[in-house]
Amino acid sequence: MAAAMSGAVDLAAVKARSEAAARAATAPPPSGGKFVIDVSEASFQSEVLDRSFQVPVLLDLWADWCEPCKQLSPLLEKLANEAGGRFVVAKIDVEANQQIAQMLQVQSIPTVFAVIGGQLVPGFQGALPEPQLREFIVALLDAAQQAGLSGPPTAADADTEAGADAPGGEADAAAGPLVPEDERFTAAEQALEAGNFDLATERYNAILLSEPANVDARLALLQVGLLKRLSALPPDARAKADAAPDDVELQLAAADAEVAENEVEAAFARLIALVKRVRGEARMPIRDRMVEYFELLGPDDPRVPPARRELANALF
């Protein structure tokens, strides 16, 4: 079940992000001038998620029959070429890639999203005029820079920083600036990959002890806790819970199983119904488990806000 977990917590899963970042580190950058790429369901992982750890990726969701798309796409291509690789446009035909459209909950086209470091960033719908589109790109690049991404330098940057005739300048420009790894996270991830949940917990806790506001360490710690519970989960966890609807521990275990299989709404419904049936202190572990799921999924997950409201109504 641990393998299914990366889908359940989507782009917020720290382990999934670290694996994607590792793949991106060895992936070749887009070939010269290829700053607009066609993406399919088969290539979404490598060309969008993994690539987003190198440069921000702009998702252009379109279809042949969409007239506004024919206005927007050439502008995006123009700006991508002007940026010289500081961001990549991933064109996704929603008719040919309906699973991606469903995953992103696309309601109309053209629709634009961005992905930075594995995280989905809200964009816009419709064909923006070029001035507004440029403003959006500036904000996108600012956000990418804050996230530690700067993309490969342009030729002008390479001339300025290394000199046009400097030995190895071209190779250095292609490589871009190196971002040093945090050895504390590396050590914790190594423990997690080895299946040593207690050691991983200890190492993430040590980070939080020195940096209480470190969001990545907090998310990673929650992930480790869930993965540890899943590793001990019996295959019939849900059947046992269904046979004992008021057993809090069995219901919590069944909810973990559902979250691991990306049946998040089912897990929320199970625990909210349980909150309504039990009283007093027995409600606290249920509430805490729901809050944990909310943190793992992130506030941008559309399943979280309604579940928060339902939980509040059930508790109060």
Does 178 qualify as catalytic in the annotation?
no
Cα angle 61, 16, 257; round to 5: 100
Give the 3-state secondary structure of residue 39: coil
Buried/exposed 219-245: b ≥16 CB within 10 Å, e otherwise: bbbbbbbbbbbbeebeeebbeebeeee
Q: In what order do the strands lie in the sheet with 111-116?
A: 36-38, 88-93, 57-62, 111-116, 119-125
Which among 136, 138, 108 has a CA at the least distance from the CA of 122? 136
Of 57, 66, 114, 128, which is the active-site residue?
66
Residue 5 CA to residue 197 CA, distance in Å, equals 15
Whether residue 117 contacts residue 86, with contact meaning beta carbons closer than 8 Å, is answered with: no
Element (H, E) at 254: helix 248-260
Catalytic position from the list 69, 80, 230, 267: 69
Rounded CA-CA distance 207/217 in Å is 7
Give yes or no: 69 in active site.
Answer: yes
Question: Within 10 A of 90 (CB to CB), how many other CB atoms are there?
Answer: 23
- CA of residue 14 relative to chain centroid, distance: 9
Token pair 């691991």 is found at 260
Both tokens of 309, joined, read 């409201």
Place of tokens 């944990």: 292
* Residues labelled as active-site residues: 66, 69
